[in-house]
Structure 1
Amino acid sequence: MIRQVKKSVSIALLTALAVSVIAVEPASAATTVIVDPGIRSLPFGGWGTSLAWSANYTGNWTSKDTLADLLYSTTNTDANPSTMFNIARYNIGGGNDPAYVSSMRVGAAVPGYKATSASAYDWTADANQRWWLQAAKSRVPAADFKADAISYSAPYWMTKSGQSTGNTDPSQDNLLNGYEAQFADYLTEVVKHFRDSWGITFRTLNPMNEANSNYWAAGGKQEGMKVSAGAKQIALINATNSALQTKSLTGTTISGLDETSIAMSHSSLDSLDAAAAGAITQFNTHTYSGGDRQGLYQKAAGNGRRLQMSEVTTSSGTHDHSSVSAYLGLASAITTDLKDLAPQEWVYWQALESEAESLAGNGNWGLIHFASDGTQNYWITKKFHVMRQYSNFIRRGYTILANNDAKTITALDPATGKISIIVYNDTASAASYTFDLNKFGTVTGSVQAYRTSSTENRATLSTIALSGKTFTTSLPANSVSTFAVQTTGGTSNLVQNPNFETVAGQNIPGWITWGGDYKGTNIDADYTQAGGMSGGSYEAVHWKATAYNVYTSQDISLPNGTYTLKANVRSSGGQSQARMVAKNYGGAELSVNIPTTSTYTTVTIPSVPVSNGSVQIGFYSVANGGNWIAFDNVSLTPVNLGLNKTIWGSSQWDANYTPAKANDGDSAGTRWNSASGTSAGEWLQIDFGSSTTFNTVVLKEFDTRIASFKISCWNGSAWVDSATGTTIGASKTVTFAPVTGTSVRLLINSATNTPSIYEFEVYNQ
């Protein structure tokens, strides 16, 4: 939130940023960005904004639908632009003492629903903000729309100062002593009415905002309420959670804590007890100042909590709707958050901001500025278009991919294989960039390009030609560019960062750490260090000088089927538990103990029958101080149902090229070859030994000889055709509807020479 008490500090800091942006010298050499699909984030949940003040002010405008389209429409063109947000944060107003409302900033006097302790609820209140919430819901597909509720203050008549802007002493709590239950009842009555009467179920409710800060003072210009970390926050969380349960508001859970900075989010979360921390299902943080971003991500993910960057606004330079430093500041803020904090959702504070307030502060907050002089004018700023460079191209369900450049965000749409690359150039000269996509299986078509600069507003540019799996382009000075390109594949191992070949240290990319409790007490007990198998540079380790309990894991989305989990491990021994684990796959937890050995050995969970589209794999230690395990080369691969099963063939070249060479697991050395002079009508048949369900065949051919083929399944009485194909080549994956039978056959209908197959693999995935 923009706080008057901080505004001069904020402007000073961001002005310094603006100066540094303009003064940066151009790089002398081209930058090469390597995109790595092997390290990726949890699925991204989307983008949004807080409604609050701007919605309260503009929700009765004649042009309100146009404004709502700018933020929430899914129709996005140059003529009708939209940020395509899908998340709305609704402010449940406390309502200030009417005697003080006139001194509040534009829109900040959000009406409450209960004027006094004796009053009935007024369900006509806050009509403007409620209109905005319904407008957002009506524009966003139901599966994508998310509404969160938050309170900035209790109603003024529940406060010590008699005002909803804070205590007369900002360092002191303002909720009346013992009023946690009454306040929780008020909030949950509003949540219940929204569900029952207005058709909106809030996903989460947070009863406080930046509550451990000393910003909130009586006579202030906006609502805010001090709730001290520890016992006071615990009491309010527990009261709110209890009220939700008592009223059967099962669709709404607690979010928190919405502290102003990363550092304060850490300290306030650590001050909770286990019950209050356990009630929070979504960790919210603001990023107005820093702290351990990666540690906060691990704290959320390790406890199975969604992490939302729930509020930030950026401003730099003097007031100017086209300010270069303002739009580059936004690009930098988004990039830093997505790369280092890795939130599953990113929410801007006030996408619509008062022009009068921006002029008064000589700043550039917000994406769109609105007049408060009765004219209903509004101005779209450059920041709006920079927001589109990100929010239009990283959609709900995408995953953020790792890359090696601090100014570049890369994201993948797993449904289509399209990747988005967003990069900003904050130098005064053009910069040459090469984007290396060689870690993907294929890269096809041409590169679509879009840009915002001092002269462009998310402009559609000419396409860029690929050179193999790379492309090179020049980024104009002070610009933000987005590139979209089609890819497939990229990793045969479902495990992210399986060999830990990143950098030594904590916060292992691709992996989540649970540090033994909600505080992450032992989060420092896992890390990577120099070492590893097969000439690798690093290995993952569990170790601490004192007793510890730590779990290093990752959740993997994958097709249903049977998989094998393997890893190379070694251990000091002495732990009460040291295990490799597979769980949350649709069955009981599976594990294998890690043996005591100073040299690496392989541990295996041979069969993980995934039935719910996901699995969690991990390494768990409960250990004494000084005990350690190391692990490396982690793999999760589908079980080849035909591996080393009985196999028959129509013919063979000689004893070195028998059918058994086609399902022995050697994809490059041994192979089956049919007899000399044969081509059409040759076949291979694998007998499973029992009834088996499968839906995928992978064929790996020597040379490119086969011109057409057919896959069939023996169902006990007849061969049933499953799929046909033409050429095979080095590797071809053939998928079809699941079939069940005791045998599978590859029939070669035509070939240019004697057919020869390295591997005939069968999967159910």
Structure 2
Amino acid sequence: MNPTRKRSSVRLRAPLPRPVGSLAAAGLAAALVAAGLTTPAVAAGAAGTVTVRLDPSYQQPPFQGWGTALGWFANVTGGWPDDRRDRLADDLYGADGLGFTVARYNIGGGDSPETAPYMRPGAAVPGYWNRPGAETPDWWDPAEPDHWNPDADANQRWWLGAAKARGADTFEAFSNPAPYFMTSSGRVSGAENGTQDNLRPDQYERFSAYLSGALQRVQDSTGVAFDSLSPVNEPNTDYWHAGGRQEGSHWDPSSQAHMISALRSALDEKAMSTPIAAMDETNPDVFRTDWEAYGPTVRDSVGRLNTHTYGTNGRTGVRDIAKGEATALWMSEVDVGGSVPQSFTDMSPAFDLAARVNDDIRELEPRAWVLWQAVEDYENMNPDHENSNWGLIQTDFTPEDAATEPLRKNKKYWAMANYSRFVRPGSRVINTDDPQTLAALCPGGQGTVVVHTNPTGEEREVTLDLTGFESVGSAPVERYTTDTAKNLQRESDVTTDGKLLKATVGAGSVTTFVLPGVGGVNTDATTAPTGAARQVVGDNSGMALAVAADGVKSRPVQRTSDAADTAQQWTFTKSSASDWGNTAAYRITNAKTGKALSVSGDTLTFATPGGSPQQQWIRSTTGDGHATLINSATGKLLDVTGVATDDGSPVGVYRPTTGANQSWTFRGTGR
């Protein structure tokens, strides 16, 4: 849910058939431009060249897929005539559409039948409770069968079946509020004060029974098995107010923790092993604030970490939390409206979306990437209302005739296809040194997909440096372009020249390259910091990690950089030489003392080299030459204490903060 709008085990799948360009859609776009109905815009920029180095020696885990929350649009369109709803489902989940494989199902809370409707179209998601008689205090009893409505929410449940029938295999249920009769305000849109919790303090167990019971009933009626259940949404915010136009509820961090524990108990009592996802916070920085307030038992109850990226600061901190906890992470909700008025030919919103995808995946390293609403209300987006570009498809949520209501795809839809049609479940995203380029190994490791965005006003020569790969092959490289006039159009093939691929991409375009012969890791050209000794230089201070003598003991400090000083030289030994994953662990040994960096409790220390987790360090990097080092035993990061910049300042370990005092550059020493 967009706060700026106040919203108003992995199974591998084969790649989809290669798409062809949509000439009809491109013709329509050109006609709209000619008629003056839209004003396509391309970001200004100079012609140029860019060389992008692909790094298969740093691989994210197998990708679970792309998807969308269902919620409002499914609540509306799931009841439309078959022709219209099937076409929408094909557009999102079909093999000739976006090929989404993830669906997030919204378990509604439900306002009182006596409350006059006040929410935006589609936002009043039905609850699963039933009130068979007069309303009395605490009338609802989850043990009473007639207090449930197992047939509720038929429209959204239709979408679950439609997604599954088209190949979706990853499903999450999520909740925005509790039912009205469990809230302090009596409404599912929030408390009277947006900084106060709306769930009454005595309702945690009942709400947990409601969520677990609703989940059972959805699974029974649809045959969909849910991979996770998320009980709170954007909780530590002030967005949610009684009478607002959408469901929502504030939860302070202690309330979140209480809810997670109560839900885990309720699921366990029903012998339901469904993992809990948490906490679907609005942005990574607030996610970290919430997570740091959870105790160890609560953290252990969380089976997957979910963050939204409506704000973008702090992504790498959440990434490192996930690695330290050895828990999978999703980017579970976002969309962008763009900076231009509603348009179906302007590429600017597509560039905004591509940048969000690239940055999220590079900095968060998520297992899945999920949109908020892939289908938006056209009337709400038109110039008389928000005049914006939310959603990939826009259609009127209150049409005169749903059977003839147009389904309008914008350029964000086609840019999304540049990713989702090619980076398939089971793919492994790899690092690049260019933030406008995303690359991934195909499932099975043979073949690579590259998506490059050129938002400038001039064509660009792109060189892909493939020296990091073991093999390149000579098979033709396919390419597909989305720009003002093209919708994922197949262009002429290109060929590699040794371990380089050169191609010209058009102005204002998103281009996907499919390199079928490229795979493996060239062990002589990896970015893994193994081999010769290196300095570990702090990005905040410019000083090097060193061993300082302190009587008979040694301590870790930062020193003015001197590559010849053996006290500043470190050897990285990977625990498994063939592990190219983003959680590969290293032992870091000092050249002068022969001792390894280790952690004892919360203290950074040295120890005789061994294989204990206390001596294992995970390298996280976005491919820009900088890295954090996460201790495998504690989840804490190598950290210059107090953000100090003085020579001799102590170095220790601390929880992830995204501060430059936790960021390091590895430099050669000539040894």
Assess same fold via TM > 0.5.
yes
Question: How far apart in 1 are the matches of 2:479 and 2:536?
Answer: 32
In the alignment, is residue 381 of structure 1 matched against residue 402 of structure 2?
no
The 8 Å contact of residues 463 and 503 in structure 2, kept in 1 or not, is answered as yes
In the alignment, is residue 55 of structure 1 matched against residue 74 of structure 2?
yes
Q: 1:324 to 1:133 in 2, by over 3 A?
A: same
In structure 1, what residue type is equivalent to 2:392?
L
Aligned to 1:85: 100
The 8 Å contact of residues 579 and 620 in structure 1, kept in 2 or not, is answered as no
In the alignment, is residue 199 of structure 1 matched against residue 199 of structure 2?
no
Question: How far apart in 1 are the matches of 2:194 and 2:166?
Answer: 40
In structure 2, what residue type is equivalent to 1:492?
T
The 8 Å contact of residues 127 and 179 in structure 2, kept in 1 or not, is answered as yes
The 8 Å contact of residues 180 and 239 in structure 1, kept in 2 or not, is answered as yes
The 8 Å contact of residues 35 and 402 in structure 1, kept in 2 or not, is answered as yes
How far apart are 1:7 and its partner, in Å? 7.5
Question: How far apart in 1 are the matches of 2:269 and 2:577?
Answer: 33
Aligned to 1:34: 53
Pick from 207, 219, 224: which aligns with 1:183? 207
How far apart are 1:270 and its partner, in Å? 0.9
Aligned to 1:129: 156
CA RMSD of aligned residues (A): 4.0
Pick from 330, 344, 363: which aligns with 2:388? 363
- Report the 3-state secondary structure (helix = DSSP H, G, I; strand = E; otherwise coil) of the residue aligned with 1:194: helix
How far apart are 1:147 and its partner, in Å? 0.7
Aligned to 1:268: 290
Question: How far apart in 2 are the matches of 1:194 and 1:528?
Answer: 60
In structure 1, what residue type is equivalent to 2:323?
A
Pick from 442, 445, 463: which aligns with 1:413? 442
Aligned to 1:693: none
Please give the per-residue CA displacement for 1:49-82, whole angstroms capped at 9, x wherever unaligned: 0001000000021221121111112x22xxxxx1
In the alignment, is residue 110 of structure 1 matched against residue 125 of structure 2?
yes
Aligned to 1:97: 112
Q: Which has the larger radius of gyration?
A: 1
Pairing of 1:148-163 with structure 2 (within 5 A): 148-163=172-187
Question: How far apart in 2 are the matches of 1:354 and 1:380?
Answer: 12
- Report the 3-state secondary structure (helix = DSSP H, G, I; strand = E; otherwise coil) of the residue aligned with 1:131: helix
In the alignment, is residue 64 of structure 1 matched against residue 88 of structure 2?
no
TM-score with structure 2 setting the length: 0.75
The 8 Å contact of residues 451 and 480 in structure 1, kept in 2 or not, is answered as yes
In structure 2, what residue type is equivalent to 1:472?
K
Q: 1:590 to 1:95 in 2, by over 3 A?
A: closer
In structure 2, what residue type is equivalent to 1:66?
R
Q: 1:593 to 1:323 in 2, by over 3 A?
A: closer
| Structure 2 alignment gaps of length 5 or more | 9-38, 132-138, 141-145, 541-555, 601-605, 618-629, 642-649, 654-663
Pairing of 1:247-646 with structure 2 (within 5 A): 247-250=270-273, 252-316=274-338, 317-359=340-382, 360-371=385-396, 372-376=398-402, 377=405, 378-444=407-473, 445-485=475-515, 486-492=517-523, 497-499=528-530, 504-505=537-538, 539=570, 569-570=590-591, 571=593, 578=607
The 8 Å contact of residues 156 and 163 in structure 1, kept in 2 or not, is answered as yes
Please give the per-residue CA displacement for 1:223-271, whole angstroms capped at 9, x wherever unaligned: 0011112x21111111001101111001x01100001111111101111
- Report the 3-state secondary structure (helix = DSSP H, G, I; strand = E; otherwise coil) of the residue aligned with 1:474: strand
The 8 Å contact of residues 580 and 620 in structure 1, kept in 2 or not, is answered as no
Q: 1:290 to 1:540 in 2, by over 3 A?
A: farther
The 8 Å contact of residues 616 and 631 in structure 2, kept in 1 or not, is answered as no
How far apart are 1:401 and its partner, in Å? 1.3
Q: 1:160 to 1:44 in 2, by over 3 A?
A: same
Q: 1:340 to 1:590 in 2, by over 3 A?
A: closer
The 8 Å contact of residues 31 and 433 in structure 1, kept in 2 or not, is answered as yes
Higher relative contact order (CA closer than 8 Å, sequence separation 6+): 2
Question: How far apart in 2 are the matches of 1:332 and 1:593?
Answer: 34
Pairing of 1:195-234 with structure 2 (within 5 A): 195-229=219-253, 231-234=254-257
Count of aligned positions: 555
How far apart are 1:392 and its partner, in Å? 1.2
The 8 Å contact of residues 558 and 651 in structure 2, kept in 1 or not, is answered as no
- Report the 3-state secondary structure (helix = DSSP H, G, I; strand = E; otherwise coil) of the residue aligned with 2:373: coil
The 8 Å contact of residues 335 and 409 in structure 1, kept in 2 or not, is answered as yes
The 8 Å contact of residues 554 and 618 in structure 1, kept in 2 or not, is answered as no
Please give the per-residue CA displacement for 1:594-649, whole angstroms capped at 9, x wherever unaligned: 9xxxxxxxxxxxxxxxxxxxxx997999999958899999xxxxxxxxxxxxxxxx
Question: How far apart in 2 are the matches of 1:265 and 1:72?
Answer: 30
How far apart are 1:152 and its partner, in Å? 0.3
In structure 1, what residue type is equivalent to 2:85?
K
The 8 Å contact of residues 570 and 590 in structure 2, kept in 1 or not, is answered as no
| Structure 1 alignment gaps of length 5 or more | 9-18, 77-81, 508-524, 542-550, 583-588, 595-615, 634-765
How far apart are 1:24 and its partner, in Å? 3.6
Pairing of 1:164-179 with structure 2 (within 5 A): 164-179=188-203
How far apart are 1:531 and its partner, in Å? 7.8
Question: How far apart in 1 are the matches of 2:149 and 2:51?
Answer: 59
Please give the per-residue CA displacement for 1:97-117, whole angstroms capped at 9, x wherever unaligned: 334462211110110011444
Greater Cα offset, 463-472 or 155-164: 463-472
Question: How far apart in 2 are the matches of 1:157 and 1:245?
Answer: 25
Question: How far apart in 2 are the matches of 1:631 and 1:433?
Answer: 27
In structure 2, what residue type is equivalent to 1:406?
P
Question: How far apart in 1 are the matches of 2:251 and 2:501?
Answer: 52
- Report the 3-state secondary structure (helix = DSSP H, G, I; strand = E; otherwise coil) of the residue aligned with 1:49: strand
How far apart are 1:442 and its partner, in Å? 2.1
Please give the per-residue CA displacement for 1:258-317, whole angstroms capped at 9, x wherever unaligned: 011111111011111111111111110000012221111010111011110000011111
How far apart are 1:43 and its partner, in Å? 2.0
Please give the per-residue CA displacement for 1:510-558, whole angstroms capped at 9, x wherever unaligned: xxxxxxxxxxxxxxx99999788999x98579xxxxxxxxx99899769
Question: How far apart in 1 are the matches of 2:609 and 2:327?
Answer: 23
Please give the per-residue CA displacement for 1:139-175, whole angstroms capped at 9, x wherever unaligned: 216xxx1111110000011111100001111111111
Q: 1:554 to 1:531 in 2, by over 3 A?
A: farther
Aligned to 1:120: 147
In the alignment, is residue 139 of structure 1 matched against residue 166 of structure 2?
yes
In structure 1, what residue type is equivalent to 2:434?
D
Aligned to 1:653: none
Q: 1:137 to 1:557 in 2, by over 3 A?
A: farther
In structure 2, what residue type is equivalent to 1:463?
D
Question: How far apart in 2 are the matches of 1:83 and 1:331?
Answer: 15
In structure 2, what residue type is equivalent to 1:373?
P
The 8 Å contact of residues 149 and 204 in structure 1, kept in 2 or not, is answered as yes
Please give the per-residue CA displacement for 1:440-490, whole angstroms capped at 9, x wherever unaligned: 222121211001000000111110122222122222111100001121332
How far apart are 1:333 and its partner, in Å? 0.7
Q: 1:555 to 1:175 in 2, by over 3 A?
A: farther
Question: How far apart in 2 are the matches of 1:346 and 1:528?
Answer: 41
In structure 1, what residue type is equivalent to 2:327?
R
Please give the per-residue CA displacement for 1:361-408, whole angstroms capped at 9, x wherever unaligned: 111000111222132221122111110101111111111111111211
Q: 1:505 to 1:323 in 2, by over 3 A?
A: farther
The 8 Å contact of residues 613 and 631 in structure 2, kept in 1 or not, is answered as no
Greater Cα offset, 184-193 or 453-462: 184-193
The 8 Å contact of residues 578 and 619 in structure 1, kept in 2 or not, is answered as no
